[in-house]
């Protein structure tokens, strides 16, 4: 197990290095100059050159990349003289537009996205898996058919459509809920939950559809397997058969997908954040792209990659825990 984890971490490191190199190269190919965007109206060619120097983008690309990597481990400074700005390690860059180290921006935005994804995931997993299980166990009944119908509708809907409908019904038309907002969990848990209820409901309903269908199919397949019949034959209660044996086997592929879903969502739930006016990582990324705020784009892209890579490792480890047939070596 230990060796497995170490090996995976090494591979992950290489993956991230490659991703960072590619992202860096892509930005180098961007036709518009970030210096020009930053410099604004009163800009002469000399001003632009100065901004480029301040941003460090007047250097050759390999040098810029080396500085970037160095910044992550030992920190770096930008500008000179009275206008020097420190960016302590782990420095992912400095945003001159925001006058902040990128790490700080990410630290402010990440909890928002985390909260959205965390609540949403709890909801969609609980709802989806239990609905799927129940339909499988009541196969062919009215319940099963209704559940399939609802989940089919859910799976074919989009966040921007369903989210706007919820907003209209619960906020604009009736005022039952306040417009979503983010309050840190540590500050006021009740407000944190109320403010995020709408995005949770949206993500929960839409994603649970997929999980319900998946777990229903998995469950049906597992229920027809030999070991389930053996368990039944040994006289176990149907509760034990379903929960301890069948569910455990059926859930592995669901864990894989959930891991990837959660991992990629953490990189930013841009559409959800935009619809509900929440300032998470996804919005930060898209805004940064609009303003050519490259250090922020670079950092968020990398971070998204980190989440997916980490989610993959976690899923692999969880496999071994859930399914005794899988052994890591």
Partner 1 sequence: MRARTRTLTTGVLAAALVAAGCSPTTDSGGGGGDDKAKTQTGSISYEAADNKGPAKAVDGAAKGGTLTIMQNSDFEHLDPARNYVNVQQVAGGLLYRALNGYKEDGSGKMLLVGDLATDPGKDVNKDCKVWEFTLRAGVKYEDGSPVTSKDVAYGIARSFASNLNEGPHYIQQWLYPGGAYNAKYQGPYDGGKPVPDGIETPDDRTIRFTFPEAHCDMPYAAALPTSAPVPAAKDTRANYDLRPFSSGPYKVKSYQRDVALELERNPNWDPNTDPLRNAYPDAIRFTFGLEQAQIAERLVADAPADQTAMSWTDVPPAVLPRTTTAGVVERVVKGPTQYVWVLNINTQRVTDLNVRKALNYAADKDAALKAIGGQAAGSPATTLMSPTTAGWKKYDVFNAPVTGDKAKVTELLGGKRPKLVLAHSNTELRTQQAEAIRKNLTDMGFDIVMKPIESSSYYDEVGRKNNPYDLYIGGWGSDWPTGSTIIPPLYDGREIVAEGNNNLSYLNEPSISAEVDRVRSLPAAEQDVGWMALDEKIMREYVPVVPLYYDATYELHGSKVGNPFLSDAFGIISLNGIYLKQ
Nearer to partner 1 by C-beta: 131 or 278? 278
What lies within 8 Å, CB to CB, of 5 at 6+ separation is 313, 317
Among 3, 14, 83, 234, binds partner 1 (CB under 8 A): 83
Task: Tell the residue number behind the tokens 């301040």, with chain if given.
Answer: 54
Of 80-88, 127-135, 189-197, 260-268, which segment contacts partner 1 by CB under 8 A? Answer: 80-88
Sign of CA dihedral 132, 136, 138, 142: positive
CA distances from 45 to 28, 42, 49, 83 (A): 20, 10, 6, 20
**CB 289 to partner 1: min, Å:** 13
Nearer to partner 1 by C-beta: 49 or 326? 49
Nearer to partner 1 by C-beta: 50 or 64? 50
**CB 66 to partner 1: min, Å:** 25
- Residue 267: how many CB atoms within 10 A of its CB? 22
Contacts with partner 1, 31-70, as mask; x by CB under 8 A: xx---xx-xxxxxx-xx--x---x----------------
Whole-angstrom distance, CA of residue 53 vs CA of residue 84: 12
Could you give the 3-state DSSP secondary structure of residue 91? Answer: coil
| Widest CA span in the chain | 85
* 140 near partner 1 (CB under 8 A): no
Among 246, 284, 294, 308, binds partner 1 (CB under 8 A): 284
Of 96-104, 200-208, 211-219, 302-310, which segment contacts partner 1 by CB under 8 A? Answer: 96-104
The residues that bridge with 85 in the sheet, in sequence order, are 78
* 329 near partner 1 (CB under 8 A): no
* 283 near partner 1 (CB under 8 A): yes
Binders of partner 1 among 164-223, rule CB under 8 A? 167, 171-173, 175, 178-179
**CB 316 to partner 1: min, Å:** 36
Q: Is 212 exposed, middle or buried (0-12, 13-18, 19+ CB in 10 A)?
A: buried
Task: Tell the residue number behind the tokens 């269908």, with chain if given.
Answer: 213
**CB 295 to partner 1: min, Å:** 14
* 108 near partner 1 (CB under 8 A): yes
Residues making up the chain, counted from first to last: 329
CA distances from 269 to 73, 105, 156, 257, 273 (A): 28, 16, 18, 17, 6
Q: Which two tokens stand for residue 50?
A: 């100065």
Among 15, 59, 98, 240, binds partner 1 (CB under 8 A): 98
Nearer to partner 1 by C-beta: 47 or 67? 47
Q: How far is CA 112 from the centre of its chain?
A: 11
* 277 near partner 1 (CB under 8 A): yes
Positions in the binding site for partner 1 (CB under 8 A): 31-32, 36-37, 39-44, 46-47, 50, 54, 79, 81-83, 85, 96-100, 105, 108, 167, 171-173, 175, 178-179, 274-275, 277, 279, 283-284, 287
């Amino acid at each position: 197990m230990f060796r497995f984890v170490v090996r995976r971490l090494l591979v992950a490191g290489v993956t991230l290095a490659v991703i960072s190199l590619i992202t860096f190269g892509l930005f180098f190919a961007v036709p518009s100059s970030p210096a020009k965007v930053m410099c604004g109206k009163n800009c002469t060619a000399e001003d632009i050159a100065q901004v480029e120097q301040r941003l460090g983008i007047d250097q050759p690309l390999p040098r810029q990349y080396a500085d970037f990597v160095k910044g992550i481990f030992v920190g770096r400074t930008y500008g000179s003289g009275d206008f020097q700005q420190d960016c302590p390690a782990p420095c992912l860059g400095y945003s001159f537009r925001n006058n902040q180290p990128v790490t700080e921006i990410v630290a402010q935005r990440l909890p928002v996205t985390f909260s959205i994804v965390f609540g949403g995931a709890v909801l969609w997993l609980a709802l989806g898996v239990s609905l799927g299980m129940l339909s499988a166990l009541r196969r062919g009944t009215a319940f099963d058919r209704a559940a399939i119908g609802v989940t089919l509708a859910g799976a074919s809907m989009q966040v921007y459509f369903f989210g706007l409908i919820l907003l209209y019904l619960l906020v604009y038309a009736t005022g039952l809920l306040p417009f979503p907002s983010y309050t840190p969990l540590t500050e006021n848990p009740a407000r944190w939950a109320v403010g995020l209820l709408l995005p949770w409901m949206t993500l929960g309903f839409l994603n649970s559809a997929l999980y319900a269908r998946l777990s229903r199919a998995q469950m049906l397949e597992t229920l027809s397997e030999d070991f389930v019949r053996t368990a039944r034959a040994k006289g176990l209660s149907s509760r034990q058969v379903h929960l301890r044996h069948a569910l455990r086997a059926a859930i592995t592929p669901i864990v894989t997908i959930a891991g990837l879903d959660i991992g990629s969502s953490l990189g930013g739930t841009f559409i959800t954040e935009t619809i509900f006016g929440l300032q998470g990582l996804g919005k930060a990324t898209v805004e940064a792209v609009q303003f050519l705020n490259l250090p922020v784009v670079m950092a968020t892209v990398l971070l998204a990659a980190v989440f997916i890579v980490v989610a993959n490792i976690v899923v692999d480890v969880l496999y071994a825990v859930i399914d005794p047939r899988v052994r890591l070596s």
